[in-house]
Structure 1
Amino acid sequence: MTRLRSYSGPSMAIASAMLFGASTPLAKLLLGSGIDPWLLAGLLYLGSGIGLGIFYLVRRARGNPPAEASLRRSDLSWLGLVVLFGGVVGPLLLMIGLSHTAASAATLLLNIEGLATMGIAWVVFKENVDRWLLLGALAILAGAALLSWQGGGTAIGPGAIAIIGACIAWGIDNNLTRKLSSADPVQIAMIKGLVAGATNLILALSGGASLPSPTAVAAAGAVGFLGYGVSLVLFVLALRHVGTARTGAYFSTAPFIGAVLAVGLFGEPLTVRLVVAALLMAVGLYLHLAERHAHEHRHEAIEHSHRHVHDEHHLHEHGPADLAGEPHTHVHRHSALTHHHPHYPDLHHRHGHAH
């Protein structure tokens, strides 16, 4: 059962990448209609926030018991940093960079986000990595880089530095979101979408952009809801199950997914480069999915709240106010435990490793 559930994390990360990857060619269609890029970023985020907000309110109005733990007051500082780095600083630096950098170089540089996410997870947050996992991550990123390469120079100028800064901001965002992964992912993505969308929209309108037609606004909102909102919900759930570095690696398949959709959407040719990129990513995903990490490890005593079932990590008793049925959500306490089994750096396995 543990082994089967461990695959839910990679599945959700890849589904997240599919939705986000599909949003790229669709956003290209919207840009082709004359929408200002910065304004479009605001509309995409707002579509995400409003769509998830409607879902959140409908779910609450039905009066069902909460399926996920709500954000706590102690989470707000982390959420503020997530919105700042991922929803404001990242898009702002990207817009500055795109205005000073050739499209070919900018597309390639955007793959630094995956490296930044994994590097921060491994170096700062000490997530476990072995040589095969590292090789798999590099294969996925190599496929993304190959897919994005369009020729031309990649000299490091002010624009390139801004794009690199945007990627680092999103890498920080991804790692900080890990701190919130036990909470309701819909609530997290909804707040991020509303705040980031409103901020980018105000900045774009202040810079002289004008709103497009209602049809274009609705289309941008729909793309944002799926490609940014639902995608982020799945990304947060993947963080909960497999940790930041692995989720970041799976998410790096998004450029390939977008390119495949563009083949059909824009009639682009199926090139050797696309096939080679697919093979590199397939090798990388295989190395990740074949990972089997097991050793004796210790869980310190902790009290928290998140969606769970009663497995080897949830052997607690229930009080009269706790909900029956599984999965369910309530505050529960984990006693200290030392045992041995295969695991990912998930919500309950963020321990250190001896080298």
Structure 2
Amino acid sequence: MTARQGLRNGGVRAALLSAALFGAGAPLAKLLLGDVDPWLLAGLLYVGAGVGMGLWRIIRRSPRVALPRGEVWWLVGAVVSGGLAGPVLLMVGLASMPASGASLLLNVEGVLTAVIAWVVFREPTDRRVVVGMLAIVAGAVVIAVPTGRVDFAEVWPALAIVAACACWALDNNLTRKVSLSDATWLVTVKGCTAGATNLGIALLLGAALPAAHVALAAMALGFVAYGLSLVLFIVALRHVGTARAGAYFSIAPFFGAVLAIAVLSEPLTPQLVLAGGLMALGTWLHVTERHSHSHTHEAVTHDHSHTHDDGHHDHVHAAGDVVEAGVRHRHVHTHEAITHSHEHYPDAHHRHAH
């Protein structure tokens, strides 16, 4: 598989764009901490993501979503770990430690995401993918510590950010369990629930609401850097699996650094060039991965968006209901048991054992 073929995968493109949006938003969230209580800012960011995506669904007239009963607790776990705990821990850490140390520690998320996916959820991997992930993380470390030295002000802020990474790593793996559901609906539920809860807790603890323009700026940032980014990340989970999506997402600090150069006129340093090279190497190793073997799909009935030209959705529609190949649509459909061989990622239809 060539790099161009890998980039044709919608999940790969979604993961890279998700990382770009989140990485570009991180420096702006740091700026807002001067005017907003950390816990309150975490709530505003997620409210912006949830309300903004909810309005988007209304404008698009998106259909209602009925989450299968067996997936409800996966979503609850994702909301609690990634929506409630993670953002608060991150804001607490960012408010009390140097940006370089915070950036370095945030890369723990990609590593923990992959470890949980491989060890707990038995997602398949190989040496090429592991090396690619390590190259991406190494590039992020180079950006985070341009002087080769990290000056942590205190141990507790650092531990708070590591704990946030652990929460998001768990969130990523739990969200994959519900990733076939409408991503915009998942973000609406997660953002509104977690955001409103954190806002309420922050106000009960004595935090003061910021000026209206600051609150709106925080919510707008949340919609882009958390809402749109999370929608794209869920799509990536659906198509390339948790560990690979997490590895691509580790590129986020690079996009933040590039934005700083383009917008804030910061210098192009040798460290950024080296980091870009390491991340490009890791990304190339991932998008050129070749994984093919004979595997069996068990019979299953479910509901998700799909086309009829991917080799897995050749079912027959009701009489008179004709859907052309390549046209995306969704409905309840049944996959019959089948054994075949082809190149694939550990996507939603390839979670078989090896």
Task: Tell me which amino acid in the other structure corresponds to 1:87.
Answer: G
Aligned twin of 1:77: 73
Aligned twin of 1:38: 39
Distance (whole Å) between structure 2 residues aligned to residue 91 and residue 281 of structure 1: 26
Distance (whole Å) between structure 2 residues aligned to residue 31 and residue 90 of structure 1: 16
Query: How many residue pairs are counted as aligned between the two chains?
Result: 345
Distance (whole Å) between structure 2 residues aligned to residue 320 and residue 83 of structure 1: 41
Aligned twin of 2:24: 22
User: What is the CA deviation profile of residues 11-40 of structure 1, one whole-angstrom value per residue up to 9, with x for unaligned ones?
Assistant: 0100111111111122233334x2222222
* Counterpart contact for 2:38–2:88, Cα < 8 Å: no
* Counterpart contact for 1:49–1:189, Cα < 8 Å: yes
Distance (whole Å) between structure 1 residues aligned to residue 331 and residue 236 of structure 2: 21
Aligned twin of 2:125: 129
Among 149, 161, 164, which residue is 2:145 paired with? 149
Aligned twin of 1:278: 276
Among 208, 214, 227, which residue is 2:206 paired with? 208
156-165 vs 121-130, which moves further: 156-165
Deviation at 1:75, TM superposition (A): 2.5
* Counterpart contact for 2:98–2:153, Cα < 8 Å: no
Aligned twin of 1:118: 114
* Counterpart contact for 1:20–1:228, Cα < 8 Å: yes
Give runs of aligned pairs for residues 285-300 of structure 1, distance below 5 A.
285-300=283-298
Distance (whole Å) between structure 2 residues aligned to residue 316 and residue 350 of structure 1: 20
Aligned twin of 2:318: 319
Distance (whole Å) between structure 2 residues aligned to residue 90 and residue 82 of structure 1: 10
Give runs of aligned pairs for residues 242-261 of structure 1, distance below 5 A.
242-261=240-259
Deviation at 1:220, TM superposition (A): 1.3
Distance (whole Å) between structure 1 residues aligned to residue 24 and residue 320 of structure 2: 44
Residue 106 (str. 1) matches residue 102 (str. 2): yes
Deviation at 1:7, TM superposition (A): 1.6
Residue 52 (str. 1) matches residue 53 (str. 2): yes
Deviation at 1:212, TM superposition (A): 1.6
**Distance verdict in 2 for CA 1:106–1:201, change over 3 Å:** same
What SS class does the counterpart of residue 346 from structure 1 fall into?
coil
What SS class does the counterpart of residue 33 from structure 2 fall into?
helix
Percent pairwise identity = 54
Aligned twin of 1:186: 184
**Distance verdict in 2 for CA 1:6–1:341, change over 3 Å:** farther
Task: Tell me which amino acid in the other structure corresponds to 1:139.
Answer: A
**Distance verdict in 2 for CA 1:12–1:255, change over 3 Å:** same
Deviation at 1:270, TM superposition (A): 1.5
150-159 vs 113-122, which moves further: 150-159
Distance (whole Å) between structure 1 residues aligned to residue 243 and residue 316 of structure 2: 33
Residue 310 (str. 1) matches residue 308 (str. 2): yes
Distance (whole Å) between structure 2 residues aligned to residue 269 and residue 227 of structure 1: 24
Task: Tell me which amino acid in the other structure corresponds to 1:171.
Answer: A
Considering only aligned residues, what root-mean-square deviation do their CA atoms show, in Å? Answer: 2.2
* Counterpart contact for 2:7–2:13, Cα < 8 Å: no
For structure 1, which runs of at least 5 residues remain unmatched after alignment?
Answer: none
**Distance verdict in 2 for CA 1:35–1:227, change over 3 Å:** same
Deviation at 1:79, TM superposition (A): 1.1
What SS class does the counterpart of residue 316 from structure 2 fall into?
coil
For structure 2, which runs of at least 5 residues remain unmatched after alignment?
Answer: none
Distance (whole Å) between structure 2 residues aligned to residue 339 and residue 36 of structure 1: 55
Deviation at 1:263, TM superposition (A): 2.0
User: What is the CA deviation profile of residues 212-234 of structure 1, one whole-angstrom value per residue up to 9, with x for unaligned ones?
Assistant: 22111221111111111111111
Deviation at 1:238, TM superposition (A): 0.8
Aligned twin of 1:328: 329
**Distance verdict in 2 for CA 1:4–1:167, change over 3 Å:** closer
Distance (whole Å) between structure 2 residues aligned to residue 337 and residue 168 of structure 1: 37
**Distance verdict in 2 for CA 1:329–1:69, change over 3 Å:** farther
Aligned twin of 1:177: 175
Distance (whole Å) between structure 1 residues aligned to residue 14 and residue 59 of structure 2: 23
**Distance verdict in 2 for CA 1:5–1:137, change over 3 Å:** closer
Aligned twin of 2:227: 229
Deviation at 1:249, TM superposition (A): 0.5
Distance (whole Å) between structure 1 residues aligned to residue 7 and residue 259 of structure 2: 30
Deviation at 1:337, TM superposition (A): 0.6
Distance (whole Å) between structure 2 residues aligned to residue 322 and residue 4 of structure 1: 33
**Distance verdict in 2 for CA 1:5–1:307, change over 3 Å:** farther
Deviation at 1:109, TM superposition (A): 1.4
**Distance verdict in 2 for CA 1:70–1:5, change over 3 Å:** farther
User: What is the CA deviation profile of residues 241-288 of structure 1, one whole-angstrom value per residue up to 9, with x for unaligned ones?
Assistant: 100011001111101101111223333221111111111000000000
Aligned twin of 1:138: 134
